[in-house]
Amino acid sequence: MKILHRLMAITLVAGLVIMNIPQRAEASVSVSARSAILMEQDSGRILYEKEANKVRRIASITKIMTAILAIESGKMDEMVKVSDRAVRAEGSSIYLQPGEKIKLEDLVYGLMLRSGNDSAVAIAEHVGGSLEGFSFLMNQKAEEIGMKNTHFANPHGLDDHEDHYSTAYDMALLTRYAMKNEMYQQIAGTEVHRAPNPNESWDRVWKNKNRLLTELYEYCTGGKTGYTKRAKRTLVTTASKGNLNLIAVTLNGPDDWDDHINMYETAFKTYDVVEVLPKGIIKDVENDFYKNKVYLKQAYNYPVTKEEKNQFEIDLNLQKPKEEWEDSREIPEVVGQATVYFDNQPVKKLPIYFKLEKIKEDKSLLDYFRSLFTSIAGVNKNG
């Protein structure tokens, strides 16, 4: 008789489950920006927000998307021929010359450190084939990341299109995505970069415009500045201290350096990252079939205040063992899912793996010949 594939729920409760634990922290921070957000990078938890989903112009923090697309293109070692259109780009510039050839990697450094609009156009034309083609890639990536209130119309953030906008929340999502890439981390966190200059005997030297990184805040690890007359000052930065990794975004922030420092300092004093689920064998599983045999491949951590440290609910959903699983080779690698709840909301789902015993090669070979013999004998017996 075939056994139905059903789920067997096992619930574990860690600490007391308080119904009103805030997922969004009520941090007492005052910022000058019209829109702001502070996000913990690894978990995505929002620690502070102010009109974070309000659509606004974003200026040159647009270039975070341009940079990550260039990095993911796999063309960073290619040489880019600079077009007349790139050289004519308005605003901040790394002073490219028409027809010169420059490495795509150097263009991305010039884009992020000096906010070169000429660099942005050169990158877009090389990676996307055209500004229009690159804008399509930007919006495709935005949709993939989950940036629901964003539309890109150019690679630099200049006010040459009315349909170029985002939100503080969406830009935090983008930065969280980009910071998973080691090369992006390296470029965004570089204070000074040297690039060959084909027309002079000396190298180009670019110092990062992000003053939080270069002089104002020791825990800053990277970011991107921005400004246009319509967007006003925009800023994205990242900072790390201890085991807490943070992302701050401000849009239309006249005092943005202090805004970011105030958000960071408040969070570092208020939050700590705790291990909610450890890596390895899951304890407290009473079912005989699964006991000491199910595990997590990775730990799960979450930022909380001191008052919140033990206030999680964890649900383990394990498949009901099947008759055919008596042969251990039939047991699937993933046998369930662990769901972490915080404030009655799921914040993470992790696959649960079954620890399969290794079958000795000689035994496996013996089983093979036995099955082969049985098969042949069966054929002879039944004609």
Task: Report which of 319, 320, 324, 331 is spatially closest to residue 359, judged by C-alpha positions.
Answer: 331
Which residues define the annotated binding site? Answer: 224
How far apart are alpha carbons 125 and 134 in whole angstroms? 7
Q: Which residue in the list 35, 43, 50, 63 is annotated as catalytic?
A: 63
DSSP string, 2-17: PPP--EEEEEEEES--
How far apart are alpha carbons 378 and 383 in whole angstroms? 8
Task: Report which of 284, 290, 301 is spatially closest to residue 342, judged by C-alpha positions.
Answer: 301
Q: Which residue in the list 35, 43, 115, 135 is annotated as catalytic?
A: 115
**381 is a catalytic site residue:** no
Residues paired with residue 334 on neighbouring β-strands, in sequence order: 353
Residue 136 CB-density burial (10 A; 0-12 exposed, 13-18 middle, 19+ buried): middle
Task: Report which of 209, 165, 67 is spatially closest to residue 124, judged by C-alpha positions.
Answer: 67
Helix (H) or strand (E) holding 244: strand 244-251
Q: Which two tokens stand for residue 371?
A: 């099955």
How far apart are alpha carbons 263 and 54 in whole angstroms? 19
Residue 322 CB-density burial (10 A; 0-12 exposed, 13-18 middle, 19+ buried): middle
Q: Which residue in the list 35, 43, 60, 166 is annotated as catalytic?
A: 60
Which residues define the annotated binding site for substrate? Answer: 224
How far apart are alpha carbons 45 and 247 in whole angstroms? 10
Helix (H) or strand (E) holding 120: helix 117-128
DSSP string, 126-173: HHHSSHHHHHHHHHHHHHHHT-TT-B-SSSS--SS-TT-BB-HHHHHH
Helix (H, G, I), strand (E, B) or coil at 199: coil
Amino acid (one-letter) located at 104: L
**63 is a catalytic site residue:** yes
Angle at CA of residue 190, ends 219 and 80, nearest 5°: 150
Helix (H) or strand (E) holding 85: helix 84-87
**115 is a catalytic site residue:** yes
Q: Could you list the active site residues?
A: 60, 63, 115
